[in-house]
Structure 1
Amino acid sequence: MIPVPRYSCVIEDCTQESKKGIPMTILEIGNTPPDFTLPKDGGGAITLSALRGGPVVLYFYPKDDTSGCTQEAIEFSGLKTEFEKLGAKVIGMSPDPVKKHDKFIAKHDLKIALVADEDKKIVDAYGLWVEKSMYGRKYMGVERTTILIGADGKIAKIWNKVKVPGHAAEVLQETKALIA
C-alpha cells in the first residue's frame, strides 16, 4: 500500500499571508483555488487538481455531527445522484480526523466524500480559518463556505457564511447553470 501524505497544498496567485503565516489565496471568481491532497473517509486521499474535467463542489464546514453540519451533509448526500448526472463531485472538508468522518458517514448514511484537514493548513490557505464569536466568547473556527469549481479548475461561484437550509439545492442549480 502506498502511504498517503497527511496533506499538501500548492498555492497559486497568492496575495496575502494567513494567520498561520502561510500563503493564502484570495477566493474570487475566476481564480484557481489552492490545490491539496488530503486523506478521505474510508481511506485513500483526494487531490483537488486530479478532479479537473468536471465541476467540483467543495464545501467547508466546522465539525462533524453538529446540527448544521449534519443537515448540510445530509442535504448534499440526498442530491448526490443529481450532482453525478452533471459530472460533479461533492467534497466536504473539516478539521475533523478521518476516523470521525467515518463514524459521521456511518451514523447518517452519508453518500459524499469527506476530507480531513486536521492541522487546518488548507482551510487557512483558503482564508476560512477565522475568528468567530458565540455568547461573547471569541474562538477560531471554520467559516462555513461552499466553492463551485468549474471543469477548468477555476472558481465559478462562492457562497460565504452559508445558511444551511436549502443550500445544497441552490448549489445544484448553479452547477446545472455552469454546465449549460
Structure 2
Amino acid sequence: MTTENTRLAVGDTAPDFTLQDQDGRPVSLHDHAGKNVIVYFYPAASTPGCTKQACDFRDSLASLKAAGYVVLGISPDPIGKIIRFAQKEGLTFPLLSDEDHAVAEAYGAWGEKKNYGRTYEGLIRSTIVVDPAGKVSLAQYNVKATGHVERLRRALGVD
C-alpha cells in the first residue's frame, strides 16, 4: 500500500517508464529528456472529473507547449478505453495505459482511497512535473479535477 513516504518530492529523480499511448506507440519519460514534462495520473477515462481534467489540459496545451512543457496523462485503463476517450474528446497529447499500475506505484500515485465510507486501493489523482534534468520540480497528490489545470498553470507561471 502506498504511504506518504513513497510519494515523490521536489528534487527526487523521476522514475523512467515506457507505456503505450492511444496511437499504439511506446512513450517513455526519457523520450522527453531536456524538456519539462507534466505527468498527470487520472483514475478512469470518460468519467466526469477525468474528462474535465483532460479537456482542460487539451485546451491549455498550446500555452503549455509554448512555455516548454510536454503533457503525458496516465491511467490504469486498458488501451481500448483510452483510445475511445482520446477520440471522443479530441485529446491530442499522449494518454498512456498503466494497467498493472506499476508506474503509478513508482510515482506514489497508487494507494489507499476512501469513498462513501469504503476504503480501497486505487489511483490517486496526482500531477508530477519533471524538469529537463529528470528531477521532480513539483509534486501534487490528491488534486481536485475541476480547476486543477488552471491552478497548475499559475504554479508554473504559464499564462
TM over 0.5: yes
The two structures, once aligned, show a CA RMSD in angstroms of 1.7
Q: CA deviation at 1:175?
A: 3.1
TM-score (norm 1): 0.81
TM-score, normalising length: structure 2? 0.91
Q: Is the 8 A contact 1:55 1:175 kept in 2?
A: no
Are 2:27 and 1:74 equivalent residues in the alignment?
Answer: no
SS for the counterpart of 2:132 is coil
Which residue number corresponds to residue 129 of structure 1?
A: 110
Aligned residue number for residue 36 of structure 2: 55
**CA shift digits 1:28-47 (9 cap, x unpaired):** 10111111011111111111
Distance 2:150 2:34 in 1: 22
Q: Do residues 117 (structure 1) and 98 (structure 2) align?
A: yes
Structure 1 unaligned runs (5+)? 1-18
Q: Which runs of 4+ in 1 moved over 6 A?
A: none
Matched, 1:144 2:125: yes
Q: Distance in 2 between matches of 1:98 and 1:173?
A: 32
> Contact (CA 8 Å) 1:25, 1:33: kept in 2 or not?
no
Describe the SS at the equivalent of 1:148: strand
Deviation, structure 1 residue 83: 1.0
Q: Which has the higher contact order (CA 8 A, sep 6+)?
A: 2
